[in-house]
C-alpha cells in the first residue's frame, strides 16, 4: 500500500495517447522534478519511433531516467525495473529534486508504488531449467506445469503469455517460491494522478499517432532492426507497432493493412490500461479534454504543493 511517510514520489498514469508526456514535461518543469519512464518498450535501445520515446529536446528540458537500458534481444523484467526506478528516485531526491514516475505499464507502476518484494537473486539453475522446458514443450504443457507448482500465477497469467509463464516457472524452480504480487513495505509516499479522455477522442488521438509514426519512418526502423540481426521474435519486437511492422516485413501483412491493425491493437491496449488503472487505489483522475491542459497543469501543481506540505508536517 502507499505509505504515509518516506520519499515523496509523483506518479502520472493513463492510457496510450492520452497526453501523459506533454503534461509530465510541464509538471516536472513547474515543480523541479525529473522523469522516470515506466514503459516496458522505451527501455529498449533502437526502438524510438514506435515507442513515442521522448525526443532529445524533451530530454534537454527535463532529465529522463530508465530509457535505452537494454538491447532489443534482452528481456527486461518488472523486478529489474523496480530496482532501476528505486535507484533513480534516491539519486533524484538526493539532488533536491522530485522523482516523477510516468507511464502506462501498470504492473511496473504498481511494483514501484506498492513495492512488491521480488527474489533478490534467482538461481541460474531455475532459468536454465525453464529454457530447457521451453525448447521441448508447447504453451499448454508449460501451463499444466505452472498450475501444479504455482496455482495463483496460473490463474493470473494469460494462457498465451509464454514469457510470463516461463518467468513464474523459473522463479519457482530457482528459489522454491512463487511470484510475489502482494505489496511490501514501500519506501515512498506517492501522489498519483491519472489522465484520460473520452473514448471517441482517445480513439482519434490513437489513430493520429499511429499515422504519424508510420509517416516518421516506423517501418524503416523495423527493417533496420531486422537487418542488424534482431530476431523477429525478440522481446522488443513484440511491442505495439513493431509486431505489425515485423508481420509486414515478413510478407504477412500488406502495407495498407499495417495502419488499421496498429490502431486496433492500440485501442485494445488503451482499454486494458484503463481497466487496470481504474482499479488502482488513490488515483486522482483528470479528464484532459474537459479540463484543458493549462488547467490540468495548474491542478497538479496545486496538488503537489499540498502534498509536499503534508510531507513536511508529518
The proportion of the chain whose per-residue pLDDT surpasses 70, expressed as a percent, equals 90
Confidence of residue 123 (pLDDT cuts 50, 70, 90): low
Confidence of residue 228 (pLDDT cuts 50, 70, 90): very high
- In the chain, the N- to C-terminal Cα span, in Å, equals 18
> Given a cut of 50, is residue 194 above it in pLDDT?
yes
> Dmax of the chain from CA atoms?
62
Confidence of residue 175 (pLDDT cuts 50, 70, 90): low
Q: What is the mean pLDDT of residues 206-220?
A: 98
Domains of the chain with bracketed CATH: 7-117+183-313 (3.40.50.300), 124-175 (no CATH)
Give the CA radius of gyration of the chain.
20
> Given a cut of 60, is residue 180 above it in pLDDT?
no
Dihedral (Cα; 272, 274, 280, 285), 10-degree rounding: 170
CA-nearest of 220, 273, 280 to 104 is 273
Confidence of residue 121 (pLDDT cuts 50, 70, 90): very low
How far apart CA 221 and CA 248 sit, in angstroms, is 13
The proportion of the chain whose per-residue pLDDT surpasses 90, expressed as a percent, equals 71
pLDDT of residue 3: 44
Top-confidence residue, 136 or 259? 259
Confidence of residue 174 (pLDDT cuts 50, 70, 90): low
- Dihedral pair phi/psi, residue 292, rounded to 5°: 90, 150
> Given a cut of 90, is residue 181 above it in pLDDT?
no
Confidence of residue 176 (pLDDT cuts 50, 70, 90): low
Q: What is the mean pLDDT of residues 253-261?
A: 97
pTM here? Answer: 0.81
Amino acid at each position: 500500500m502507499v505509505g504515509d511517510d518516506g520519499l515523496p514520489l509523483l506518479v502520472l498514469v493513463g492510457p496510450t495517447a492520452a497526453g501523459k508526456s506533454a503534461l509530465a514535461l510541464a509538471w516536472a518543469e513547474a515543480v523541479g522534478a525529473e522523469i522516470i519512464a515506466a514503459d516496458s518498450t522505451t527501455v529498449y535501445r533502437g526502438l524510438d519511433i514506435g515507442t513515442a520515446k521522448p525526443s532529445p529536446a524533451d530530454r534537454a528540458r527535463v532529465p529522463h531516467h530508465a530509457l535505452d537500458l537494454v538491447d532489443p534481444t534482452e528481456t527486461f523484467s518488472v523486478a529489474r525495473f523496480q530496482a532501476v526506478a528505486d535507484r533513480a528516485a534516491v539519486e533524484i531526491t538526493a539532488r533536491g529534486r522530485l522523482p516523477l514516475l510516468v507511464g502506462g505499464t501498470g504492473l511496473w507502476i504498481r511494483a514501484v508504488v506498492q513495492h512488491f518484494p521480488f527474489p533478490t537473486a534467482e538461481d541460474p539453475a531455475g532459468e536454465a531449467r525453464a529454457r530447457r522446458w521451453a525448447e521441448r514443450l508447447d504453451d499448454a504443457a508449460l501451463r499444466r506445469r505452472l498450475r501444479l507448482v504455482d496455482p495463483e500465477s496460473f490463474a493470473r497469467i494469460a494462457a498465451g503469455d509464454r514469457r510470463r509463464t516461463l518467468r513464474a516457472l523459473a522463479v519457482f524452480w530457482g528459489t522454491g517460491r512463487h511470484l510475489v504480487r502482494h505489496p511490501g513495505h514501500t519506501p515512498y509516499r506517492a501522489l498519483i494522478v491519472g489522465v484520460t479522455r473520452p473514448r471517441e477522442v482517445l480513439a482519434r488521438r490513437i489513430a493520429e499517432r499511429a499515422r504519424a509514426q508510420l509517416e516518421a519512418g516506423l517501418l524503416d526502423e523495423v527493417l533496420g532492426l531486422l537487418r542488424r540481426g534482431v530476431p523477429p521474435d525478440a522481446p522488443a519486437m513484440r511491442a505495439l507497432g513493431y509486431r505489425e511492422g515485423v508481420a509486414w516485413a515478413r510478407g504477412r501483412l500488406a502495407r495498407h493493412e499495417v495502419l488499421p491493425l496498429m490502431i486496433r491493437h492500440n485501442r485494445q491496449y488503451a482499454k486494458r490500461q484503463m481497466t487496470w488503472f481504474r482499479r488502482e487505489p488513490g488515483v486522482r483522475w483528470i479528464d484532459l479534454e474537459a479540463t484543458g491542459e493549462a488547467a490540468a497543469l495548474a491542478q497538479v501543481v496545486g496538488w503537489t504543493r499540498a502534498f509536499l506540505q503534508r510531507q513536511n508536517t508529518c
